[in-house]
Amino acid sequence: MSTFPIPVAIIGSGNIGTDLMIKILRYSKCLQVAALVGIDPASDGLARAARMGVPTTAEGIDGLLALPNFADIRIVFDATSSTAHALHNAKLQPHGVRVIDLTPAAIGPYVIPVVNLDKHMQAPNLNMVTCGGQATIPIVHAVAQVAPVHYAEIIASISSKSAGPGTRANIDEFTETTSRAIVEVGQAVRGKAIIVLNPAEPPLIMRDTVYCFVSPGADIEAIRAAVQARVAEVQQYVPGYRLKQDVQFEHYGEDNRQNIPGLGWSLGTKVSVFLEVEGAGHYLPAYAGNLDIMTSAAVSVAERIAHSHVSGGV
């Protein structure tokens, strides 16, 4: 039977991978960073890892597989790109490690910790959707538990300074993956995702807007309570996650029907939720809440898997 701490590896020595490493080293009682993997020998992440006593390799996935301690590693985080992840996953799966995917590759099931992690605890590859998905899908799902969501649209606005090469290269995958997850995990009938790179100076923290269109007569107070409860759940692993204002409701009747994508001119209620995500500042600046929510959610998933390993559940 496994014992704590569970050895993990991180592929990707950029902002996300380095933030993951620091979060685990400083705060996790059940995970141990056994390797940080990159492809740039001069990266700040690899240099920091070496200073902190973490084994490193600049030889990518093959360098990880060749490390003397690789056989001990039980969980691997992939913080690279959707294209690279397909190769990494193919090489890792024969070794029986669990893979937590922070790219939009979506090889494994979409996972939002407060929504559906229990359902996918046995999956060999778990996809963390996107930063916008982690921030907004919990809200769509919360609304859907009270009233059917016919259409959900999310807008994730992030500082352009927090969008690195990986994020910019995966914009199409971001919108496609998030839109699918709004339906598959959030339980909306239809979903749409939009990402905005905000060039404002000084940089603004992540802001997210969630619109859900529900049927007439939905229980407004129950929806409001469900959203507030869900925000509190997410705050357990992302303390900087919060409502910007009270949940808003707009009612549409015969005289002011709303044109809903896929539904046409419809009666109903539009639920509007406005969020912001402030980063913890472990490695990334506080305005980079979009990156912080991804790393925080991924660590939360890994810790649940680690506890399951130790208890013999996985």
Residues 6+ apart with CB under 8 A from 43: 13, 14, 58
Catalytic residue chosen out of the listed positions 9, 75, 114, 131? 131
Is 30 in the active site? Answer: no
Asked whether the beta carbons of 50 and 56 are under 8 A apart, the reply is yes
Amino acid at residue number 53? G
Quote the CA–CA distance of 172 and 104 in Å, as a whole number. 9
Q: Is residue 169 a known part of a binding site?
A: yes
16 labeled part of a ligand binding site = yes
The DSSP secondary-structure symbol of 216 reads T
Structure tokens at 250: 């707009």
Peptide bond into 203 cis (omega under 30): no
DSSP letters for 14-74? SHHHHHHHHHHHHH-SSEEEEEEE-S-TT-HHHHHHHHTT--EESSHHHHHHHSTTGGG--
Q: Which two tokens stand for residue 60?
A: 């990518």
Residue 199 marked ligand-binding: no
Q: Is 48 marked as a binding-site residue?
A: no
Strands (DSSP E) contained in the chain are 6-11, 31-37, 56-57, 75-78, 98-101, 125-127, 149-159, 191-198, 206-214, 241-243, 248-252, 258-260, 264-266, 268-277
Q: Does the annotation list 165 as a binding residue?
A: yes
Per the CB < 8 A criterion, the answer to whether 258 and 213 are in contact is yes
- Is it true that the peptide bond before 138 is cis, omega within 30 degrees of 0? no
Amino acid at 314: V
Instruction: State yes or no: 167 annotated in a binding site.
Output: yes
Q: Is 198 among the annotated ligand-binding positions?
A: no
Q: Check the CA dihedral 60-181-94-24 and report its sign.
A: positive
Distance of alpha carbon 131 from alpha carbon 279, whole angstroms: 12
C-beta of residue 35 within 8 angstroms of C-beta of residue 55: yes
The catalytic residue positions are 131
Binding residues: 13-16, 162-170, 290
Binding residues for NAD(+): 13-16, 162-170, 290
